[in-house]
Amino acid sequence: MKTKNFLKTLMALLFTVLPSIVSAQGDLALFDLKGKVKQCTWVNHKAGCLQKGFSKTANKEVITFSQAGRCQKWNDILFAAQGRSGNALHNEIKRDAKGRTVYGSLYNGFYAPGSGEETFGYDAKGKLAKFTYEDAGAMVETTFEYDAEGKMSSSISSIEDMMEDNTSKITVTYQVQNTDAQGNWTKRLAKPSAGASWIEFRTILYYQ
C-alpha cells in the first residue's frame, strides 16, 4: 500500500513539474511563438531575422519545430548541423540549461569559416530580449521590448557597417492586428523610425 501511494505521489509530482520543464525548453521564443507549434511561415520578418540581423527587403522564413519546441529546419535546411551531414543554417549551436539556443555559428555554406555568428539573450519571463548577428562586414544588435500582455511592442536595431565604417539605428514599433486561437499573432503592422511601414504575416501549424 505504501509503495502504491508513493508511486501515485511521484506521478502527481511529475505531471506537475513536467509542463514547466517542457515549456522552458525549445526555440519558440526565438520566433515569438508559444504552444505546440509544428511550423511557422513568416513573411516580411525584417528586424531580428536570422542570418541577416536586419533586412531592408521583404523576406520569408519557414521554420519547423519538434514536439519539444526545438527548431529543426529553417527554410528547408537544418537549423543546426551539430555534426550531421547536409546544408544547415548553423554548423554548431549552444544551449542554456533550459534548452534554449544562446549561440550559433553560421554555416560556411553562407559565409567564410568562422566569419558569422549569432547570439541570443532572454529576459526573466523567457522572452527573447537581445539578438546579435555578426559576419565579416556587419554587426547588428537588436533588443526587444514587450507590453504588459507579453506582446512584442518594439525592436531597436543598431547596425554597424564595417565596410563603410558607419553605424545606424532603426527602431520598429509593432501593432498586432490578428491572433490565432493559441494566442500567437498572425498579422501585425511594423512601423520603423525611418521609411515606410510594412505588414508581417504568419501562418502557423500546430501538433495535435
- Prediction pTM value: 0.78
3 state SS of 193: coil
- pLDDT tens, 32-85? 999 999 999 998 877 655 655 556 666 788 999 999 999 999 888 888 887 665
In DSSP terms, 158 is beta-bridged to: 141, 169
Which run of H or of E encompasses 146? strand 138-146
CA atoms of 92 and 68, how far apart (whole Å): 19
User: Burial of 5 by CB count in 10 Å (0-12 exposed, 13-18 middle, 19+ buried)?
Assistant: exposed
Mean per-residue pLDDT for 168-189?
A: 94
Judge whether 157 and 130 are in contact, CB under 8 Å: no
- Residue 81: the pLDDT is 83
pLDDT for 171 equals 93
Counting Cβ atoms within 10 Å, is residue 185 exposed (0-12), middle (13-18) or buried (19+)? buried
Would you say 50 and 89 are in contact if contact means Cβ atoms under 8 Å apart?
Answer: yes
**pLDDT at residue 75, as a whole number:** 85
DSSP structure string for 47-113: BT-TTTSB-SS--EEEEEE-TTS-EEEETTEEEE-TT-SS-EEEEEEEE-TTS-EEEEEEPTTTSST
What is the predicted pLDDT for the residue at 18?
Answer: 31
How many residues belong to the chain?
A: 208
- pLDDT, tens digit, for every residue of 5-29? 432 332 332 222 333 333 445 899 9
Average pLDDT, the chain: 79
Residue 115: the pLDDT is 57
pLDDT of residue 188: 94
Tell me: pLDDT of 202 over 50. yes
What was the pLDDT predicted at 111? 47
pLDDT, tens digit, 9 for 90 and up, residues 110-160: 545 445 888 999 999 999 999 998 877 778 899 999 999 999 999 998 988
The percent of residues above 90 in pLDDT, for the chain, comes to 43
Band the pLDDT of 1: cuts 50, 70, 90.
Answer: very low
**pLDDT at position 35, please?**
94
